[in-house]
Amino acid sequence: MQGTSIVICPHKDGIASRALDLVVEGLRSGLARRGAAHLALTGGSSAAALFALLRSDPRARRVDWSHVHVWQGDERFVPIDHPDRNWAGALRDWLEADPGPGAILHPIPVDEALDGGHDAGWAAERYAEDLAATLPTREGVPSFDVLLLGMGGDGHILSTFPDTPAAHETVRTAMPVAAPDHIEPHLPRVTLSPFVLRGALSIVVMVPGAGKAATVRDVLGSPAEPARLPAQTAVRPTAVWLLEPGSASEL
């Protein structure tokens, strides 16, 4: 498992609490080194409990958020008022809550694309330009201080699904993704390419739920086949996998 850390938390809420500690630690380290830090958010259900802690837990106040850049790992290509829009949830549950953190926000430009009649490829290109202009680099790719991930039951991370072009990408840092047929929601997306993980200083993978136990076992215990199991790109020394008894039950 390439030195990957595996932490089995006592329950699902414990995953969010441990993730908060890792976020605070990673961002404070980045701020101390460069005076700025970069956090990439995960979408989906994995983020909701963490957002609640970021909004209200005293540990979050140890970060000077005014110098933290907040990015997205992936986004559904739908309007901001769509219930499946990741950024809307992040704004509601944390970034624009009262009081909000006052961070520097870098949403994937889905709204600009839709308003201008552009497609997801246009949004991906603009996002890649923003990444290149703003982030430091490590191993030739944009380097996040902390990159948050969830994992789907099919082994996908970000919006990189098994045996799709994003799983094989090695040049574009952000790219469009066609609507998946095998998993909901069936919507087109824009995603960071998984090879960007090699530049992240800290990767936090949050995986609650016994329904994902078999996939956790395969990702962490099988020979490397990242095209089949994209989450294996997050099996690396800079990553911490946060599990609970249900999701860890087949290890």
Mean pLDDT by 10 residues, the chain (251 residues): 86 95 98 98 86 96 98 97 95 92 98 98 98 95 97 95 92 96 93 97 97 97 94 96 97 94
Tokens of 196: 């960007």
pLDDT of residue 99: 85
Pairwise CA distance, residues 168 & 226, whole Å: 9
pLDDT of res. 1 = 54
pLDDT of 62: 98
Q: Quick one: pLDDT at residue 2?
A: 58
What pLDDT sits at residue 242?
98
Find the largest Cα–Cα distance for the chain. 48
The tokens for 115 are 């308003």
C-alpha separations of 115 from 109, 112, 119, 179 in Å? 10, 5, 10, 20
CA distance 170 to 142: 13
- Give the pairing of strands 37-41 and 68-72: parallel
**CA gyration radius, the chain:** 17
Alpha-carbon gap, residue 169 to 140, rounded angstroms: 14
Would you tell me how many other CB atoms lie within 10 Å of the CB of residue 79? 12
pLDDT of residue 43: 82
Contact 223, 188 (CB under 8 A): no
Which residues, 6+ apart, have CB-to-CB distance to 118 below 8 Å?
Answer: 112
**Complete domains list, the chain, with CATH:** 5-196+213-243 (3.40.50.1360)
- Measured between alpha carbons, how far is 113 from 116 in angstroms, rounded to an integer? 5
The DSSP string of 140-180 is TEE--SEEEEE--TTS-BTTB-TTSHHHH-SS-SEEEEPPP
Q: Which phi and psi angles does 160 have, rounded to 5°?
A: -100, 105
Check: pTM over 0.85? Answer yes or no. Answer: yes
- HSE-CB for 6 with a 13 A CA cutoff: 18
Give residue 44's pLDDT: 72
> Per the structure block, which two tokens stand in for 189?
């997306």
